[in-house]
Amino acid sequence: MAAAAVMVEAAAPTGALWGLVQDFVMGQQESPADQVAAGTAGSAAKLLQGSGRRERPSHPRTAGRELRGRDVKSGNYTVLKVVEALGSSLENPEPRTRARGIQLLSQVLLQCHSLLLEKEVVHLILFYENRLKDHHLVIPSVLQGLRALSLCVALPPGLAVSVLKAIFQEVHVQSLLQVDRHTVFSIITNFMQSREEELKDLGADFTFGFIQVMDGEKDPRNLLVAFHIVHDLISRDYSLGPFVEELFEVTSCYFPIDFTPPPNDPYGIQRDDLILSLRAVLASTPRFAEFLLPLLIEKVDSEILSAKLDSLQTLNACCAVYGQKELKDFLPSLWASIRREVFQTASERVEAEGLAALHSLTACLSRSVLRADAEDLLNSFLSNILQDCRHHLCEPDMKLVWPSAKLLQTAAGASARACDHITSNVLPLLLEQFHKHSQSNQRRTILEMILGFLKLQQKWSYEDKDERPLSGFKDQLCSLVFMAITDPSTQLQLVGIRTLTVLGAQPDLLSSGDLELAIGHLYRLSFLEEDSQSCRMAALEASGALASFYPGAFSSYLLPKLAKELQRDVTREHGPNKCSRHLLCLQALSAVSTHPSIVKETLPLLLQHLWQANKGNVVIGFNDIIAICQSLQQVAEKCHRDPDSCWYFHETALPCLFALAVQASMPEDSSVLRKVLLEDEVLAALASVISTATIHLSSELAAQSVTRIVPLFLDGNISFLPENSFPSRFQPFQDGCSRQRRLVVLLMAFVCSLPRNVEIPQLTQLMRELLELSCCPGCPFSSTAAAKCFAGLLNKHPAGQQLDEFLQLAVDTVEAGLGAGSSRSQAFTLLLWVTKALVLRYHPLSSCLTARLMGLLSDPELGPAAADGFSLLMSDCTDVLTRACHADVRIMFRQRFFTDNVPDLVQGFHAAPQDVKPNYLKGLSHVLNRLPKPVLLPELPTLLSLLLEALSCTDSVVQLSTLSCLQPLLLEAPQIMSLHIDTLVTKFLNLSSSPSMAVRIAALQCMNALTHLPTPVLLPYKPQVIRALAKPLDDKKRLVRKEAVSARGEWFLLGSPGS
């Protein structure tokens, strides 16, 4: 059957094609020409084809394309045939008909240009070039055809040039429509990509031709292409000949770009696209410099902010390719403009761009290689800057002092040479000015400027010690710093301390004598009284920074003093100062432990201090122990970068701390201090030291440690503890001794911080003991610690049978506990922690457990706790189950939890009896509150009604968390929120007189955020809101009044001029 059909079709091919062609040419009105063309081409090809499948007629367009490709490839059919079939219409005296004919041919070519043969191309080109002279109605179709041919691989050499010449000569491009102009630009682009060499042979004529094509272009779509072509012309080194200025004119007339895309623009061209592509053109060659720089100066001097910014940014871009030659004549004007912008501007962006331009100008001048006899422009440029800025530095109270300093520092930051030049001029001046001015605040400004210049020195490294520009000023600088840090003004002291740190960071600058003096001052500052906290903190930070450079100096000058201070404190004094000095000394010790060799001295000091206290040599209180733990923890944190230090800390501190704790837990022990050691907070502080000291251990070392610590708890093996002659056995998991059980929190801190691949000995036994302890009534502290420890281990355990067994055990324990009356709350805590451990790692069982937890929301006894539990599930823990302690925490767990559970929560809320509804709302608001806002936004429409209902809930926790959830949404989803404006205004205003201060504050913050909704929505409420907000202005609490003031201020500005 198919064969018969082919026969029939083959019988009258030309006739059928002729008919279809005529249909197309004449049938202009019936359907879109494009579609007809594709359909016709398809049918025509099909008819001409000697063999082959028949395509389904439902896709004429694809069929056409496919068949044509195959036809031409198989040689059954040539473009010539289409031309022949078109014959009369191509020559028709009626231009419209000719246009239709050529349009069909061009569309056919566009579909099969890659398959054309060379001789076909030659003929087609000749034909099309000739048609360029034709009637203007025909031109668009001719250009389409040329575009198709410009994509041909088979284009013989020489034809590209001839096509372009013909276009340049025959077509007045700017009188064409936008689409057709775009076609011309595409033809040029295509040839530039494939025929670069040929076009270059055309010399500057090509450039000139293009200039004429582009001249007067207004459409942003075409401009983007045109700018791209110009950029290629320049960057690929086409000959510009005498047309440099013309090329500049034809592009620079668009500078600065002023374009606002129309609303709902389908082309998506932004202002920035045009700005950046024009900037790429303008800044692409130094040959434009003589024309561009005057233009930039003119535009910087204009009143329009965007023109200033664009000009400064373009100047900045130019400096990357310019040299001294280009800049030379314009430097004074450029400097004057930049200076004015920085001195007088009201916009920080202009100031920043001005400084950036100055930076690249200076860098550009520093980069150029000089001939021996040439003038060094950098020097004269910098001298200009210095001349205009120097005298302002001498007036530290006046406004221009900082802009001047910024200009100088920016220039100095551009190159080592500039830095030298400016520093050597400015530093002596500033040093002199410091002594000339006697007020502390003036001195502070001057010292702060000096600090800025010193910091710049760090950018450049000097090989030779004598070359360093600072060495000559070292003594003066040191004496200045010491004056500053002994000044009564805190502000001056602070700058002094920062300057000292920067001086210390300069290699080989400070002498041993300077260091001794500096350390003396730092020691004094570390013990400052309460009212100069900021100085003391700065001094501690400086000690830490300097100690890492000069560990030797610190261990000989500072540590002995601190050790003595600690001793003195402990042994003799009992004054009111005792306590605070003791704390300050501990903080100083930890602050300075930034170098491994210093840790080796400070850690034993701290531990010995703790041990002394334990021996009863001194009376030591709760706060002291906490302070020592905090210091130890800080030392541990500072060790983490150095593996050896880390292990040293672990090896030294852990046995000592465990020994102290174990001894304190002995039933026979009854001293006061030992009681203190077992208090919740102290144990938590110890736990946190242990955890920090374990987190950064390598797996090998951690594995070594775990074989001693787990047996200590399971078997009472105390052999690795110092001074281990305890009166009784240590059996924390055995019944009886509740003191010993409390130490499970220390075990938790250790095992839950281990790297994931460390194998834990006796794991099954450990897990069983933990589960048992977690449901033990009577001591919530130890049962919670056991539950957390169990959860922490569960989270890291690899999936498999053993994990499933542990989980089964846990579920059984939870269910048994929830059933029994006595330990329900313990079982609930265990459930919560196990759920969290599984939610974090996306374990499949987590959904069952979450459902169980949700069920408890309507439990009369555990409901409120379950609601709060959602907060725990969604928040980050501090001690276990964190990424820092190697837990398996998936990044999207909150989103996932939200998607899986919020629908059920909402449903549960609607189904729940009235008295437990608040539990659901509370749970929900905890979940929403912790969720990243972008995730919440799409879900907002469905949840919003519930959130609004939650605002009417009487529970202030629900109110507060709902408000804090709504506040960012008001800023980020103003359109959706606008729909509920009436409810929002009413409820927020109601809550602004809530009895709870936190709710009042949050409600007023929401009132403030409301002003971000579209103004027309708000205006009807303005009078009412302004009246209502007068009331909280007189609130009894200052913090509430503050929020009321800012909210009311914003409402006043709504729809008012100048806002």
Binding residues for another protein (CB under 8 A): 303, 343-348, 392, 395, 397-402, 441, 491, 996-997, 1030, 1033-1034, 1036-1039, 1041-1042, 1045, 1048-1049, 1052-1053, 1056-1059
Question: What is the nearest approach in angstroms of another protein to the Cβ of residue 391?
Answer: 11
Question: What is the nearest approach in angstroms of another protein to the Cβ of residue 305?
Answer: 12
Tokens 């014959």 belong to residue: 87
Question: What is the nearest approach in angstroms of another protein to the Cβ of residue 824?
Answer: 33
Measured from the CB atom, the residue of 543 and 1011 that comes closer to another protein is 1011
C-alpha to C-alpha distance for 542 and 518, rounded to whole angstroms: 10
Measured from the CB atom, the residue of 820 and 997 that comes closer to another protein is 997
Question: What is the nearest approach in angstroms of another protein to the Cβ of residue 1059?
Answer: 5
Measured from the CB atom, the residue of 612 and 996 that comes closer to another protein is 996
Question: What is the nearest approach in angstroms of another protein to the Cβ of residue 836?
Answer: 31
Measured from the CB atom, the residue of 911 and 1033 that comes closer to another protein is 1033
Say which amino acid occupies 928: L
Measured from the CB atom, the residue of 599 and 991 that comes closer to another protein is 991
Question: What is the nearest approach in angstroms of another protein to the Cβ of residue 1031?
Answer: 8
C-alpha to C-alpha distance for 929 and 444, rounded to whole angstroms: 44
Question: What is the nearest approach in angstroms of another protein to the Cβ of residue 347?
Answer: 8
Question: What is the nearest approach in angstroms of another protein to the Cβ of residue 490?
Answer: 11
Question: What is the nearest approach in angstroms of another protein to the Cβ of residue 299?
Answer: 16
- What are the structure tokens assigned to 452, written together? 């800025």
- What are the structure tokens assigned to 491, written together? 């502000």
Measured from the CB atom, the residue of 401 and 686 that comes closer to another protein is 401
Measured from the CB atom, the residue of 215 and 529 that comes closer to another protein is 529
Measured from the CB atom, the residue of 303 and 373 that comes closer to another protein is 303
Measured from the CB atom, the residue of 343 and 549 that comes closer to another protein is 343
C-alpha to C-alpha distance for 902 and 943, rounded to whole angstroms: 9
* Cα angle 574, 580, 582; round to 5: 75
Measured from the CB atom, the residue of 619 and 1033 that comes closer to another protein is 1033
Count Cβ atoms within 10 A of the Cβ of residue 677 and give its class: 0-12 exposed, 13-18 middle, 19 or more buried: buried
How far is CA 668 from each of CA 726, 729, 782, rounded to the nearest angstrom? 10, 11, 20
* Cα angle 403, 409, 415; round to 5: 145
* Cα angle 286, 290, 296; round to 5: 95
Question: What is the nearest approach in angstroms of another protein to the Cβ of residue 430?
Answer: 18
Instruction: Find, among 196, 147, 192, 197, the residue nearest to 167 by Cα.
Output: 147
Question: What is the nearest approach in angstroms of another protein to the Cβ of residue 219?
Answer: 34
Question: What is the nearest approach in angstroms of another protein to the Cβ of residue 404?
Answer: 10
Instruction: Find, among 884, 890, 871, the residue nearest to 832 by Cα.
Output: 871
Measured from the CB atom, the residue of 302 and 580 that comes closer to another protein is 302
Measured from the CB atom, the residue of 323 and 974 that comes closer to another protein is 974
Q: 1018 CB contacts (<8 Å, ≥6 apart)?
A: 981, 1010, 1011, 1051, 1054, 1055
Provide the 10 A C-beta neighbour count for residue 810. Answer: 26
Say which amino acid occupies 976: I
Contact call for residues 838 and 845 (beta carbons, < 8 A): yes
Question: What is the nearest approach in angstroms of another protein to the Cβ of residue 260?
Answer: 20
Question: What is the nearest approach in angstroms of another protein to the Cβ of residue 997?
Answer: 5
Q: String of b and e for 755-777 (b: at least 16 CB within 10 Å)?
A: beebebeeeeebbbbbbebbbbe
The distance of Cα 909 from the centroid of its chain, to the nearest Å, equals 38
Q: Is the peptide bond before 864 cis (omega within 30 degrees of 0)?
A: no
Question: What is the nearest approach in angstroms of another protein to the Cβ of residue 1044?
Answer: 8
Label each residue of 252-303 as H, E or C.
HCCCCCCCCCCCCCCCCCCHHHHHHHHHHHHCCCHHHHHHHHHHHHHHHCCC
Q: 510 CB contacts (<8 Å, ≥6 apart)?
A: 474, 478, 503, 504, 518, 550
Q: 496 CB contacts (<8 Å, ≥6 apart)?
A: 447, 481, 482, 483, 484, 485, 487
Contact call for residues 854 and 908 (beta carbons, < 8 A): yes
End-to-end C-alpha distance for the chain, whole angstroms: 80
C-alpha to C-alpha distance for 686 and 632, rounded to whole angstroms: 9
Contact call for residues 316 and 356 (beta carbons, < 8 A): yes
Say which amino acid occupies 850: T
Measured from the CB atom, the residue of 395 and 637 that comes closer to another protein is 395
Question: What is the nearest approach in angstroms of another protein to the Cβ of residue 250?
Answer: 33
Measured from the CB atom, the residue of 180 and 395 that comes closer to another protein is 395
Question: What is the nearest approach in angstroms of another protein to the Cβ of residue 754?
Answer: 40
Measured from the CB atom, the residue of 212 and 345 that comes closer to another protein is 345
Sign of the alpha-carbon torsion through 519, 522, 524, 527: negative
Contact call for residues 1051 and 1022 (beta carbons, < 8 A): yes
C-alpha to C-alpha distance for 176 and 174, rounded to whole angstroms: 5
DSSP code per residue over 849-882:
HHHHHHHGGG-TTTHHHHHHHHHHHHSPPSSSS-
Question: What is the nearest approach in angstroms of another protein to the Cβ of residue 448?
Answer: 12
Measured from the CB atom, the residue of 765 and 1056 that comes closer to another protein is 1056
Measured from the CB atom, the residue of 833 and 1021 that comes closer to another protein is 1021
Measured from the CB atom, the residue of 239 and 532 that comes closer to another protein is 532
Q: What is the DSSP letter of 455?
A: H
C-alpha to C-alpha distance for 477 and 1020, rounded to whole angstroms: 63
φ and ψ at residue 366, rounded to 5 degrees:
-75, -25
